[in-house]
Amino acid sequence: MTDHDIDKLYKHQATEQPPIAVDNKITQLAQESVKDTFTKKPLRLTQKYMPFTLAASIGLVGLLVLNFPQYYTQAPMSAPDEALIDQSIPVQLNDHEQAAPLLTPAPLQLKSTNKAIVNNETRTSLERKKMAELQRSKREIQPQIKLIKHTLLKKIAQQTTLNNTTKAAQLAQQYVDKFGLAQLPVKYHYLLDEQDK
């Protein structure tokens, strides 16, 4: 008996069909579900696009503040113009009041406030550039600092193994002077006490 013979026997014996009532119920439910998808009430445009508009408006405000800070930061307040203060009106004081010295405020100069805005903007951009340079230089110096620390510690260890404690104490003091006591390993702290002796 081959697979082909078994296949023929199976097809000859497999005559079962689901009951017609069950088959009709399944097709009816499928048709109803398809109708429901087409009759669902669509979202209003405000509901559909609200998250996108909210994200876009927040992004726009952020970009405006970051790219144009001169419009969103206040300029330093300057005093009113002297011409506006009428000094020709005499001030009458009572007998018990003393005349206070008049403080004359600086005149209002619109050009200087505009310069102040520009100066603040250029100052912040210069500060950002300086900070970037500082961070870059720190990144460049870090490997050199590690190398110096390593070589100093290696020399200290070498001098302690040779029992040359005075030289090791001098190197330990150099290490502390450059990098601080907290950076010196605890096992070499005794060298600092020996140098004081």
Task: Output the tens digit of pLDDT for each of the chain's 197 residues.
Answer: 788 888 888 888 877 777 889 989 999 998 888 876 666 666 777 778 888 999 999 999 888 888 887 776 655 555 444 444 444 444 444 454 444 444 444 444 444 444 545 566 677 778 888 888 888 887 888 888 888 888 989 998 998 888 888 888 888 888 988 888 888 888 888 888 876 65
Predicted TM-score (pTM) of this structure: 0.34
Q: Map tokens 């206070």 to a residue.
A: 100
137 in Cβ contact with 99 (< 8 Å): no
Residue 184 burial (C-beta neighbours within 10 Å; 0-12, 13-18, 19+): buried
Residue 31's SS3 state is helix
Rg, Å, the chain Cα set:
43
Contact assessment for residue 191 and residue 163, using Cβ atoms and an 8 Å cutoff = no
